[in-house]
Homo-oligomer: A and B are copies of this chain.
Amino acid sequence: MEKMKLKLLYSDLRPELEIIEKELEQAVDSSSHLLNDASLHLLQAGGKRIRPVFVLLAGKFGNYNIDVMKQVAVPLELIHMASLVHDDVIDDSEIRRGQPTVKAQWNNNVAMYTGDFILARALEHITEIDMPSIHHILSKTMIEVCRGEIIQIEDKYKLDQNLRSYLRRIKRKTALLISSSCELGALVSGTDEKTAAHLRRFGYFIGMSFQIIDDILDFTASDEELGKPAGSDFMNGNITLPVLCARKDPAIYAVLKANLKQDLSDDARVEIVEMIRNSPAVGEAKMMSERYLHKALKELSYLPKSAANRTMRNIAFFIGKRKF
């Protein structure tokens, strides 16, 4: 399994990650059964905990103390979790046509407040950190992530948007939180500012690369590998890099335009996915993700060689090569 292979790369961090896992469990605990169920479900659904991993690795460049590291790792992962729950609400309502069932509505409401609750818990953890500069970065990150969500709604179904809009979106959606994880991990462990800046940029570049690959996989991986129908992004109106590259071909542009905002049949969806998959767009998008990957690696090259540096490098390579 993909997730397993990635985890091997940072198996050294397992004891520390378990501490963070316990803190996360405590953070989502509440007196409400419903809330506990929803939050624990979310927690157990797992995820790669890549943000805490980056916090910990960045911390290894300074005076690493797990009790300090977890103070930023936990709220960062909580912010990420909250945004996941709220994203699910969005996607749910996209699929649903006409009137929502009472049950669907109930779940969405629970999901919304579960997200709010987790955000509030993140805030609680943040308030325990007594470094104002850390607060500042965390709150700025949260604002930009939220802004990104809104911009994603604004940019939906806009086939004629420029590349810059896309890059701005994935920056806020993915790159910023990883970038902040690296920067904060460095800062709380007392690295010098130059090291923190290299790590911040490493996180930014690797986040951009990661999201571009994610957007490519939506067209190149199978439904089974993705755990959802390929082409979901396009069907939901999210115009990603492969589409932006593919639309340069007038014939492809016409097909995309005609199928935008349509209730696509499964055959039509597969046809569009294959059209993109077989176009030069996938190669172009891959090149762009690789350019970000190399920029990320370059940032690491400025930093002292160490086990943490190597692990970051391996994770970056892994992300660059992943097939789903």
Interface on A for B, CB 8 Å cutoff?
30-35, 86, 89-90, 92-93, 105-110, 112-117, 119-121, 123-124, 126-127, 130, 132, 135-136, 138-140, 142-143, 145-147, 149-151, 153-154
Contact = CB atoms under 8 A, between A and B. Distances in A.
A153 B89 contact: no
Contacts of A89: 108-109, 112
A33 to B, nearest CB: 7
Contacts of A135: 127
A90 B135 CA distance: 31
Contacts of A117: 143, 146-147, 149-150
Given A89-B112, A113-B149, A153-B34, A127 B119 contact: no
Given A90-B113, A110-B153, A116-B149, 19 more contacts: A32-B151, A35-B150, A89-B108, A89-B109, A89-B112, A93-B108, A106-B153, A116-B146, A117-B146, A117-B147, A119-B146, A120-B142, A120-B146, A124-B139, A124-B142, A124-B143, A126-B127, A127-B135, A127-B139
A-B complex: 5 closest residue pairs judged by Cβ atoms: A127-B135, A117-B146, A124-B139, A120-B142, A120-B143
Nearest to A135: B127
16 contacts: A30-B147, A30-B150, A32-B151, A32-B154, A90-B109, A92-B105, A110-B153, A112-B112, A114-B150, A116-B149, A120-B139, A120-B142, A121-B143, A123-B138, A126-B127, A127-B139
Nearest to A35: B150
A89 B108 CA distance: 9
